[in-house]
Amino acid sequence: MSIVKAKELVNSFQDKGFHYTKDLLFNYYISLITKPFIILTGISGSGKSKIAELFAEIVNDTTLKSYELIPVKPNWRDNKGLFGYHNLIDNSYYITPMIRLFLRALHKPNIPFFLILDEMNIAKTEHYFADYLSLIESRRVEKFMDDISTDELDLEEIFSYPADTSLSEAIILSALDINNLNEMLEIKDYRENRFSKLWQETIFGGNNWTAQYRSELNQGTNRLANRVFEGGGGSYRLKKKDDIDPDDWERIENLKKLYTKTMLKEKVTIVQDNIILHNSDTCLSADGSPSDCQDCTYKNSDKYKCEKLYNEITEKYLVPPELPIPINVFTVGTVNVDETTYMFSPKVLDRSNVIEFNEVDFPGIYNLSKSNIELINTVVSTVVDEEFYFDDDSDMPKLAITMAGKEKVNKFIEFAPNQFNDLIEIFTILKRYNLHFGYRVMNEIALYMCNVENNTSYVNRMDRGMDNQILQKILPKLYGSYDNIWNPLSEILGVLLTDPKETIAENADILLDKLKEYSNGKINELALDGTIAEGLFKYPKSAIKIVNMLSDLNNTGFAAFIK
């Protein structure tokens, strides 16, 4: 990544002439690593597309283009606009910007890439995006035991010798690491192995390493290596079990257990389904020219692993028969709502974090007069918490997806029991009205909270994180008529109060009295100011949104999160 320290992220946006609050950038970052699909909604011109573009530029140091901004077309009725199609006339592939992005991402798997879908809801999302969502949801974690990398630095990080370890034991560990016990190997093969080198660097105190190593194998039955290795003339191998003294064999067995414990670690990999692009036996070119892969064949599991898919020098792409969505690709969709757009289905909202961009900071950007600023400040304020951010002196975490699961929920319960209890209360309210959420939402909320816990030491991080998740994962799916959602929204609002059982303050009494009147249609408009909300509610941003939705219900009989 081109930025190292967390404080550099904010400065990088400011250097490019754009102003985003620290808590917004933190929420954006944590949302991305929690689930690589974000929907940005809000008024036009508030910086939705720009934050996605600038973020992609700032977090990358690759010379490759790290993002594609794709305007969604109103006439998209299937996935061809995103995935392209096989042109049977000239046996080429109509390649799209998204497929180009995927091929670049597979070429650089350790670098984040970004797919930005502009005005995502100008066509029905389910028509062109259903396959994409299905591929994301097919991801699962598989665990397996595998060898640690042979890199010496890796060994230093995971293994250290006790001070009384003999050179003979290091030689035996080297033989086990080489894993070629049946053949005679030269002394230098053992001596240059990482286990022997590590012993030399941390234990050996002599001046003639090569001679000492040779002596350990050749001289004196008091040396374990001399007793358990056979050979001569500079080539050796471990003896068979029957040729080794039982006490010596027991020592070898203990070293085997130590080696296995050190070198065989549980590894986690993410597997997923592929999208079928065409049925050819080889890759297809994108320009109608002959493919460089006319003779290549594939096994079922390797249909996208051809080394010729992308040429960084010539910028030539070849399209394989099938592709996954690379796990280093993050998807950001921007949304505007008017008479030309479509409402998202629960299927889409369930799989994303929905972040609102309705606030514009004119006083922070422009040289406004005092009277202009005072006039703007007469409008109700929002909630901004600049402390809800990475620790300023900390290194930026790796921008890589994390996977949700029940283990994250159990961790969430342990370190944030109060916030989890509030989530269960909200779930119970919604269940009474058959509006409740399922395992996916629960797992992803827990994962977001774990990512917050791991990436900031801010004392109020759990309340701020829970506020974001109620706002981004639960409320977006609530829409409908007065009769359908008034009661669940008002009941959830009660859960959000700092202390719903006590009289909090005079402002609380006024607000609740207004809500009571409001429910009888006596008040035409109610807006909750950010300053008041922070005093009354533990999750003030969610409270403000609920009150706005209640206002819409009262005025028009209908409310939706995205508007």
Q: Average pLDDT of 88-105?
A: 91
Is-contact 284 93, C-beta < 8 A?
A: yes
Low-confidence winner among 4-13, 403-412, 441-450 (lowest mean pLDDT): 4-13
Q: Which CATH number fits domain 35-137+272-357: 3.10.20.740, 1.10.10.10, 3.40.50.10310, 3.40.50.300?
A: 3.40.50.300
Predicted confidence at residue 145, as pLDDT, reads: 52
Question: Residue 351 above 50 pLDDT?
Answer: yes
Instruction: Give 527's pLDDT tier (boundaries 50, 70, 90).
Output: low
What are the respective helix, strand and coil percentages of the chain, to the nearest 5?
45, 15, 40
Match 């050996």 to its residue by tokens: 204
Question: Residue 402 above 80 pLDDT?
Answer: yes
Q: Which amino acid is at 82?
A: L
Q: Average pLDDT of 419-436?
A: 96
* Greatest Cα pair distance in the chain: 101
Distance CA 551, CA 389 (A): 32
Instruction: Give 110's pLDDT tier (boundaries 50, 70, 90).
Output: confident
Predicted confidence at residue 539, as pLDDT, reads: 94
Share of the chain above pLDDT 90, in %: 45
Question: Residue 88 above 60 pLDDT?
Answer: yes
Predicted confidence at residue 77, as pLDDT, reads: 92
Secondary structure of 2-39 in HEC code, one letter for each residue: CCCECHHHHHHHHHCCCCCCHHHHHHHHHHHHHCCEEE
Q: Among 518, 519, 540, 520, which Cα is nearest to 471's?
A: 540
Q: Average pLDDT of 181-193?
A: 90
Q: Cα-Cα-Cα-Cα dihedral of 156, 162, 167, 168, to 10°?
A: -110
Q: Average pLDDT of 103-115?
A: 91
Q: Among 318, 295, 297, 304, which Cα is nearest to 276's?
A: 304
Match 């910086």 to its residue by tokens: 47
Q: Tens of pLDDT along 464-504?
A: 999 999 999 999 999 999 999 998 998 899 899 887 654 44
Low-confidence winner among 9-13, 68-72, 119-123, 269-273 (lowest mean pLDDT): 269-273
Q: Average pLDDT of 32-59?
A: 89
| β strands within 272-394, DSSP E | 275-276, 284-285, 310-311, 316-319, 322-323, 329-335, 353-357
Low-confidence winner among 281-295, 335-349, 514-528 (lowest mean pLDDT): 514-528
Provide CATH 1.10.10 ranges for the chain. 152-266
Predicted confidence at residue 300, as pLDDT, reads: 45
Q: Among 262, 235, 248, which Cα is nearest to 173's?
A: 262
Q: Which residues pair with 395 in a beta bridge?
A: 5
Predicted confidence at residue 343, as pLDDT, reads: 86
Q: Tens of pLDDT along 262-305?
A: 776 655 678 888 889 998 878 888 876 666 665 555 444 555 66
Fill in the DSSP letter of residue 501: T
Q: Among 81, 146, 401, which Cα is nearest to 272's?
A: 401
Distance CA 232, CA 234 (A): 5
The alpha helices in 264-416, defined as continuous H runs, are: 346-350, 362-365, 370-377, 406-415
Q: Cα-Cα-Cα-Cα dihedral of 339, 340, 346, 352, to 10°?
A: -120
Predicted confidence at residue 375, as pLDDT, reads: 79
Predicted confidence at residue 4, as pLDDT, reads: 65
Provide CATH 3.40.50.300 ranges for the chain. 35-137+272-357
- Indicate the class that CATH gives domain 152-266: mainly alpha
Question: Residue 404 above 80 pLDDT?
Answer: yes
Instruction: Give 371's pLDDT tier (boundaries 50, 70, 90).
Output: confident
Q: Average pLDDT of 39-56?
A: 87
